Amino acid sequence: MELPQQATLLRIYIGENDRCGRQPLYEVLVMKAREMHLAGATVLRGPLGYGASSRVHTAKILRLSMDLPLVIEIVDRQEKIDLFLPVLDGLLEGGLATLESVEVLHYRPKNSKEQESI
């Protein structure tokens, strides 16, 4: 798969405890992105954050939160991201989603043998 030099970054902010049925929402979103052949998705876990509720979520020892902030980043062509947005809208109950234009500098697998095993 190739990406154009100009692409779109979809960034989704949710909580670790957000679910879709019995599955973690972040897993559902990443697997749906893969199913739709989007170029790539990454889930990042934050040690501290807050959102629309203003409730602070932290990984500090004295105030352990089991609902740490997560950010899911998905990069692909604008057209493919646009096709994913209705899916996202149907799955996302709370949280934040943003879009921004990005310049792709490098996108390729480490080696062809690794790609064949996937």
Q: Token digits for 24? A: 């973690």
What pLDDT is stored for residue 110 in this prediction?
A: 83
For residues 17 and 62, the model is more confident at: 17
Strands of 1-118 (E only): list them: 6-15, 19-20, 23-24, 40-45, 48-49, 57-58, 69-76, 96-103
**pLDDT tens-digit series, residues 52-97:** 888 887 776 555 556 889 999 999 999 999 999 999 999 999 999 9
Residues 3 and 79: beta-carbon distance below 8 Å: no
Question: How is residue 1 annotated by DSSP?
Answer: -
What are the chain's domains? 6-116 (3.30.70.120)
**pLDDT tens-digit series, residues 23-53:** 999 999 999 999 999 999 999 998 888 888 8
